[in-house]
Amino acid sequence: MTPLRQRYLEDLQLRNYSVKTQQVYVECVSLFARHFGRSPELLGPEEIRAYQLYLIREKQVSWSRFNQTVCSLRFLYATTLQKEWIIKHLPFPRKETRLPVILSPAQVSTLLQAISNPRYRIFFTTIYATGLRLSEARRLEVADIDSARNTVRVRQGKGRKDRYVMLSPKLLELLRQYWKAYRPARLLFPGMNPEHPLAERTLQDALRQAREKAGLNPQVTAHTLRHCFASHLLERGVNVRVIQLLLGHASLKTTARYTHVTDTALAQTVSPLDLLPEPERP
């Protein structure tokens, strides 16, 4: 590991960035340096601009990936290299707004039943019942399930924040049956090594197979179940602020996007035409 890379990693750790964010940032900076075959210390605004155009025109990366690259380079030049003047040459692109894929309750049920492995089925059922992210569900511990208070503790979610979500009575019964069958010790969903959670790739493969078996949209992922959790609550009249807290969103604006994808709410909205008085008949 080069001294610059080591210092960059230490700066990320000092500012309490998550391990996953550290890995992504280091990878983005590494690809940037590899593209030019030189250390970032020797690169400036022209190379940054050229690399941004390369990502857009040739690599055609997603907005998310482009944004990760910009953030990683901003941190590198402003914090590690102390060259804040370069930040002006790292503009953020206009963000694309795309509505998430939402399944109906019947489709969610079909998807979950299509998961053949009982452990994986209860894992994804937990995500739908609580609205957790995939990474949050993987880190759940047995002690996080509080049957007395009917809550689930989410440890260090996005933004390094703890939160609580509701514990469905139906989910509690399923988890009790699961615990009796598999007897997990600390982690609720351990992998081959009891000290490590189920592998993310294994879970994604299991859901992909179930999605294909159920004949659902290819864009359905584990995060889709989180989207469904939010949208189905909204359709049942749950306050959007409550949903924001359950999802762990820092901004209400992020949660508000679900108001655009609730078909039930749209169908029940009365058009002003229907409220006009009937004209008098001659």
User: Active-site positions?
Assistant: 133, 158, 223, 226, 249, 258
Q: Which residues contact 208 (CB under 8 A, 6 or more apart)?
A: none
Q: Are 246 and 226 in contact (CB under 8 A)?
A: no
Structural tokens at position 172:
């509690």
Q: Are 208 and 124 in contact (CB under 8 A)?
A: no
Number of H helices, E strands in the chain: 13, 3
Phi, psi of 191 (to 5 degrees): -90, -155
Neighbours of 175 (CB within 10 A): 23
Phi, psi of 107 (to 5 degrees): -70, -35
DSSP 72: H
